[in-house]
Amino acid sequence: MDDAVELPALAAERRELERRLDRLSGEAAARVREYGSARAALAKVEAFLALAPQVSTRLEELTRELFGEVLDEIETDLTHAVREILGQNRTVVSRREVKNNRLCIEFEMEQDGETEDILVGQGGSVCNILSVGLRLVALSQLDPARHRPFLVLDEQDCWLRPDLVPGFVRLIAAIADRLGIQVLYISHHPVDLFALEAQKVFALRPSRDGGPRLEILIDRAAVALPCLETAGTAQPDDA
User: Which pLDDT tens digit goes with each residue over 39-78?
Assistant: 999 888 888 878 777 777 776 677 666 666 667 777 888 8
pLDDT tens for 121-158 read 666 777 878 888 888 878 887 888 888 888 899 888 88
- Report the distance separating Cα 203 and Cα 219, nearest Å: 12
Whether 153 is in a domain gets the answer yes
Residue range 174-190: mean pLDDT, rounded: 86
- Any residues with CB less than 8 A from the CB of 67 and at least 6 apart, and which? 96, 103
Whether 19 is in a domain gets the answer no
**Domain coverage including residue 192:** 148-239
Using the 3D structure, point to which of 96, 130, 145 is the last residue of a domain: 145
**Angle, nearest 10°, between helix axes 2-86 and 165-179?**
130
C-alpha radius of gyration, the chain, whole number: 37
Strands 91-99, 150-154: pairing kind: unpaired
pLDDT tens for 2-44 read 556 577 777 788 888 888 888 888 888 888 889 989 999 988 8
Domain count, the chain: 2
pLDDT value of position 231: 61
- 177 and 97, same structural domain? no
Whether 63 is in a domain gets the answer yes
- Report the distance separating Cα 190 and Cα 233, nearest Å: 9
- 175 and 222, same structural domain? yes
pLDDT value of position 123: 61
pLDDT value of position 222: 55
Residue range 109-113: mean pLDDT, rounded: 80
- Report the distance separating Cα 126 and Cα 107, nearest Å: 11
Residue 107, pLDDT above cutoff 50: yes
Whether 77 is in a domain gets the answer yes
